[in-house]
Amino acid sequence: MIILLYGKETFRLREKLSDIIGEYSRKNSSGLNLRYFEEGADFEDINDCRKQVSMFDEKKLTVVYNPFSSNKTKEGLLKELSTVIESDDVFIFTQEGELKKGDKLFKKLLDFQKKDPKRIIVQEFPSLSLAKISLWIKGEFKKRGAEIEKEAVEELKKRCGGDLWRLDSEIDKLSLYKKNITKKDVQETVAGGVEVSIFPTIDAIAEKKREEALFLLYDHLKKGDSPLYVFSMIVYQFRNLLIIADFIEKNIKYEEAKKKSGMHPFVFKKTYGQAKKFSLGELSKIYGKLFEMDLKIKTGQIDPVLATEIIIFG
């Protein structure tokens, strides 16, 4: 069985993935049959994992990150797709961004889905409209036992845009702060962009200054930042780095990249400088690790402080 989750709205995509993994973990307590494969994984490794005999009487769950971005992964999947589909185990393919209908693997999956919709599930996560973002914000506050005024919703959207990753972090912070959020509360507690204080932490990680990065992590915690908030800011900034590194790789000029990124000029300048300290491959690997840690945090498998330490020392 294959579940394909894809789209521009990566927050809701990962939330759905977390829900599936959480449900699987509740039913299969051993955790030994849950596997993650980062972008660029060799299909033979994925296939070997499928063939292995389990010690436990439970289905395997294999998560493959961005399989459409790697020719190595795609070619293997195209050859063995029918075998994977017919397997009793579950494969989840997560792809950040849009998929073209002409893509061979995507087309083949959709063709199989028409024949057997129970074995192929495809769900797209497009960007939300401004109206839907407002409803989403209200719903997230309600989940956390808090309420937010209409003017405060608009102020939060103005400061965070449509970035659900950033919004989720700010909603966490605000709902811990108060249970009835006003526009003034948002103005006093939510910065207009990425927290400037996270830049030195990212620099230390980039330069492999592990002790310094660890010191900065605990400095955030001493100041009262929640561990989940710090982790989510690191995820948010590495996502920005990956976007800019991709622009650099494609030789897109600075001013054009700045415009396309939609970032504040100061944030773009700082992030552009940081992106040059990594290769695109390094960033993809770190972001893949962050992706895995994020899932483990949300499914209760790991503490956010430990997850951040793993990133620092990884």
Radius of gyration of the chain (CA): 20
Rounded average pLDDT over 99-123: 89
> Is-above-0.85 flag for pTM?
no
List of domains in the chain: 2-124 (3.40.50.300), 130-189 (1.10.8.60), 198-313 (1.20.272.10)
pLDDT in tens, 187-229: 877 765 556 677 888 888 888 888 998 998 888 888 777 787 7
Q: Are 242 and 283 in contact, with CB atoms under 8 Å apart?
A: yes
Distance separating alpha carbons of residues 81 and 74, to the nearest angstrom: 10
- Alpha carbon separation from 121 to 1, 34, 112, 114, 209 (Å, rounded): 8, 19, 10, 10, 43
pLDDT in tens, 235-261: 888 888 888 998 898 888 888 888 877
